[in-house]
Amino acid sequence: MAILVIAEHDNTSIKAATLNAVSAAAKIGGELHLLVAGSACAEAAQAAARIAGVSKVLVADAAHYADQLPENLSALVVAQAAAYSHILAAATTSGKNFMPRVAALLDVAQVSEIIGVVAPDTFVRPIYAGNVVATVQSSDPIKVVTVRATAFEAAGEGGSAAVESLPAGPDLALARLVGRELTKSERPDLTAARVVIAGGRGLGNGENFHKLIEPLADKLGAAIGASRAAVDAGFVPNDYQVGQTGKIVAPQLYIAVGISGAIQHLAGMKDSKVIVAINKDAEAPIFQVADYGLVGDLFEVLPALLAELG
C-alpha cells in the first residue's frame, strides 16, 4: 500500500519541512502520494508535483481548506486513509495540531516526531526532552506518524507526479480563523538555517538583544533564535524559541549567547554540528555541549566578535 504525506503550504508554495517528511516516507518505502488541501492552491500542487519521489499529488481545493484548520483537514485526510498504510506529516505546529486528530478518528495511535525509521512499523523517537530515545513498534493497520524535520534530509526537485483532484468534504464549521500575525524577517528560516545565533536572558533586555545579536546575524547570514527565558521576558516573539517545546534546530553552526543551557533548551539544539557558547558563567551547563566555549562578558565579546568577522 502507498504512503500519504500531508503537505504544509501557503497555497502557492510547499513549506520546507514537508520535504523532510517526504524523505522519511521514502525510507519507509513504497509509492508516495502527497495531499495538498487548500484554497486556490493549484500553484502549491504544481510545486508538490515537482518533489522527487512523489508519484501522485491529490488536491482538495475549497474555501474551507484555505487556512488548513485541523477540523476540516483531519476529516479530509480520514476520508482518504483507507487506501494507505502510512500517513505522515512534518512535526510542525500545523502537523502537531491536526495529525493526532486524524489518528483518533482512525482509532490508531500516533507516533510523534520520529527521528529514525527502523522498519515500516518501527520508528525511533525522542522522549524526555531528547534525553532518551525510544524505539517503538506500531500494531495498528494505519501508521500515523509525524516527522522531526532536522532528522531527515530534504527531498529534492525533479519529480513529475500526476496531479489528481479530490472532492472536498463538507465544511464542519467548528472553528474560524480570525487572523495571523506572522513574524516578518529577511533572515533565513530558523529551522532550515545554516547558522543560528541565539540569545538568552544574559542579554538583559530586548534592546540589547536587537543591538547585539542582529548585526552578528547579518554578518553571518544567520537566523536568530532565543531561549525560553528571553521569549518569556519579551525580548523577542514566541516563534524565536528553540527547545523541547519550541523549535528544533540542527544548523552547521549554533552560537548560544547568554544562554545557560537548561535541558529543555539543549533538547532543541544539541544536534547542531558545531556549537559555540558565550557566557560569563564558566559553570553554565551550555559549556558541556559546546565545541567552543568563550567565558566572558557578552557585552564585550559580541562587539569584538563583530569586529573580528570584519
Partner 1 sequence: MKILVPVKRVVDYNVKVRVKPDGSDVDLANVKMSMNPFDEIAVEQAVRLKEAGVASEVVVVSAGVANCQETLRTAMATGADRGILIQTDGELQPLAVARLLKAVCEKEQPQIVFCGKQAIDDDANQTGQMLAGLLNWPQATFVSKVAVAGDQATVTREIDSGLETVEVRLPAVLTADLRLNEPRYATLPNIMKAKKKPLETLTPAALGVDVTARLKTLKVAEPAKRTAGIKVADAADLVLKLKTEAKVI
Site for partner 1 in 107-146 (CB under 8 A): 107-113, 122, 126-140
Q: Could you say whether residue 182 binds partner 1 (CB under 8 A)?
A: yes
Minimum gap (Å) between residue 36 Cβ and partner 1:
18
d(CA 213, CA 205): 12
φ, ψ of residue 19 in degrees (nearest 5): -65, -35
Sign of the Cα torsion 119, 146, 111, 247 reads positive
CA 16 → CA 48, 107, 308, distances in Å? 11, 29, 33
User: What are the phi and psi torsion angles at 118 (to 5°)?
Assistant: -95, -45
CB of 137 to partner 1, least distance (A): 5
Q: Which residues in 203-262 contact partner 1 (CB under 8 A)?
A: 220, 228, 231-232, 237-239, 244-245, 247, 252-253
Asked if 170 touches partner 1 (CB under 8 A), the answer is no
Q: In the bound complex, what is the minimum distance in angstroms from residue 185's beta carbon to partner 1?
A: 10
The residues in 16-45 that bind partner 1, with binding defined as CB under 8 A, are none
* Shorter beta-carbon distance to partner 1: residue 204 or 296: 296
- The binder of partner 1 chosen from 57, 65, 89, 98 (CB under 8 A): 98
Contact track, partner 1, 52-81, x by CB under 8 A: -----------------xxx--x-------
Amino acid letter at 100? P
Under the criterion CB under 8 A, does residue 186 sit at the interface with partner 1? no
Which residues, at least 6 apart from 247, have a Cβ–Cβ distance to it below 8 Å? 190, 191, 225, 239, 241, 268
Q: Shortest distance, CB of residue 63 to partner 1, whole angstroms?
A: 16
Cβ proximity to partner 1, 85 vs 97, nearer residue: 97
Q: How far apart are CA 100 and CA 71, in angstroms?
A: 11
Cβ neighbours around 148 below 10 Å, total: 24
Is the alpha carbon torsion for 301, 307, 308, 310 positive or negative? positive
Using rule CB under 8 A, residue 83 touches partner 1: no
- Look at residues 268, 200, 269 and name the one whose alpha carbon lies nearest to residue 229: 200
Q: By CB under 8 A, tell whether 293 contacts partner 1.
A: yes
Choose which of 101, 142, 192, 249 interacts with partner 1 (CB under 8 A). 101
Binding mask 254-283 for partner 1 (x = CB under 8 A): ---------xx-----x--xxxx-------
Q: Which of 157, 158, 181, 186 binds partner 1 (CB under 8 A)?
A: 181
Please state the closest distance from residue 112 (CB atom) to partner 1, in A.
Answer: 5
Question: Rounded distance, CA 27 to CA 174, Å?
Answer: 36
Question: Which candidate, 53, 65, 23, places its Cα nearest to that of 165?
Answer: 65
